[in-house]
Amino acid sequence: MNFAHRPTLAARWLGRVDYEDGLVFQQRLREGTRSHLLLLEHPHVYTMGVRTDPSHLLVDPASVRATACWTDRGGDITYHGPGQLVGYPIIDVPVGPDSTPSYVHNLESSIIKLLGDYGIDAYTLAEYPGVWVGPTDAPRKIAAIGVKLSRGRSMHGFALNVHTDLGMFDHIIPCGIADKAVTSMEAEGVRASVAQVARAYASRFAEAFCFDDLDYQGVDAVDKVETVSGEQLHGDTSVASRLNQRLVKAGFAFDTAVAYVSRKPEWLRSEVHLGQEYRSLKHLVQDLNLVTVCEEAGCPNIYECWKDGTATFMINGERCTRACGFCLVDTSKPLPLDPTEPRHVAEAVSVLGLNFAVVTAVARDDLSDGGAQAFAETIRQIRELNRGCSIEVLIPDFKGDHGALETVLQARPDVLNHNLETVLRLHRAVRPSANYVRSLTVLARAKDFGLTTKSGLIVGMGESIAELKSVMRDIRSVGVDILTVGQYLRPTRHHLPVSRYYHPDEFRELRDYAMSLGFRYVEASPLARSSYHARQGSDAAAGALA
């Protein structure tokens, strides 16, 4: 099978990802044309392929703190869990009578070469898919393979045991093979982290499938950080210690950080307009007991937007259950929801005469639905009082609760926004309670539901231009229509340091690159924020999609 002269492979080491989120992510990527290799770990889960005999699951998964999931890949039952490298290639595969066996052979060969790099002799067995080690008369399976090829695109892939708990295989008949043992790299005498093996495998896969270029990105930059020294902090002891730990693990260069007291460039200074429009909206917000993210997050565009009579309303209170490293919103214990809030937001939209309303919220992980019902009710109330008004919602990830997300999707906002905020390497440092794949899955599900989708990035938190381009490609790969890119401004000494201030010319270059990827609208400028020029973005996307 000829795989010669392929363009870039986007390989991503994603860390721990829920199985269903990984599946949705794969399904969305398969609809595109780019080549991807997703490398990750799953929480404890038993997955059953299309040929699985249910009797091969020997226990109630809950009894061993696992879940079970039927899936559309080939093969029988297998186990995924911590310490195991799972690889999901989403690439074009030439269609032909031998497509599947040839593809599987290439996959097996790439794993065998990887294991050889670690000094492990491995081989295949003609009668069984997968990769094996040990004597051929008593083989031990070290990697399982189960794939799906459809319309010339691949899904699913392999599971390589690195330092897996092999006892979890005792609760199934692995791959339906009762008389063969299972092993791991660790059991074969090799000690390595899953992250290290993932990075090494990405190169082997790119070589096996003839990719000319490898775009590899991964969570964090080092495997483990015991302590953060004063030298690493470069004297900035004001940043919270946990945040420091995450930043060092992500490879943040403290010696290049902008001093908190440094003077901002001229292009980052916004004008103050305390005119009648600003004062009127301020009084209206106070009279209706509403909260705006404009005030709570210290948005630099508040005077411009309020002068134009527009605001982004923040529902579900003003206290967030998360502590993102860049955000100024209060993180003290949340108060009970105000049941009148959705109506008051609708009344404010009516008084202002808005034809485009933006609604966001703090994260409310303390609520059973994460605050999803309040989003849906606010959408309904705005439409009841303001016929013809378009609505954009900027939502949290609801901790991956698909039912909560479905509640918002069923209310059918005109634009669904969920921000990824930063690049993969920095994600754990910047958004410790979030997950890169979970966020992309939120956007993928919204797109599959038929909604216009939007996401945003903040720059100046330690990322590179190459990483920014990679995250833009990831966002676009799940079908997102609108993108915002703005400069990070450190709210206090206790928040993330600023790595640097981007020049307006760099924002123009980022916008041009994003537009070349197929986004319908891109707002990229030093003071751009999620809801800045939201109506223009919605109109542009609607026009492009019409």
Q: Is 310 annotated as a binding residue?
A: no
Q: Is 80 annotated as a binding residue?
A: yes
Q: Is 145 annotated as a binding residue?
A: yes
End-to-end Cα distance, the chain:
40
Q: Is 253 annotated as a binding residue?
A: no
Task: Give strand pairing partners of 37.
Answer: 11, 89
pLDDT digits (tens, 9 = 90+) for 510-539: 999 999 999 999 999 998 888 777 788 888
Residue 261's pLDDT is: 75
Q: Is 55 annotated as a binding residue?
A: no
Distance of CA 521 to the CA centre of its chain: 20
Domains in the chain, ordered, with CATH? Answer: 6-218 (3.30.930.10), 266-545 (3.20.20.70)
Q: Is 210 annotated as a binding residue?
A: no
pLDDT digits (tens, 9 = 90+) for 272-305: 555 555 566 566 556 655 555 554 445 555 555 5
Residue 235's pLDDT is: 46
pLDDT of residue 152 exceeding 90, the answer is yes
Contact 11, 205 (CB under 8 A): yes
Contact 171, 64 (CB under 8 A): yes
Contact 439, 418 (CB under 8 A): yes
pLDDT of residue 44 exceeding 80, the answer is yes
pLDDT of residue 207 exceeding 90, the answer is yes
Contact 148, 137 (CB under 8 A): no
SS3 445: helix
pLDDT of residue 83 exceeding 90, the answer is yes
Q: How far apart are CA 147 and CA 165, in angstroms?
A: 23
Q: Is 389 annotated as a binding residue?
A: no
Residue 81's pLDDT is: 98
The pTM (predicted TM-score) of the whole model is 0.90
Residues with active-site annotation: 175
Neighbours of 545 (CB within 10 A): 9
Q: How far apart are CA 156 and CA 359, in angstroms?
A: 37
DSSP secondary structure, 288-332, as one string = TT-EEHHHHTT-TTHHHHHHTT--EEEES-SB-S---TT--SB-S
Q: How far apart are CA 94 and CA 346, in angstroms?
A: 54
Average pLDDT over the chain, rounded to whole? 88
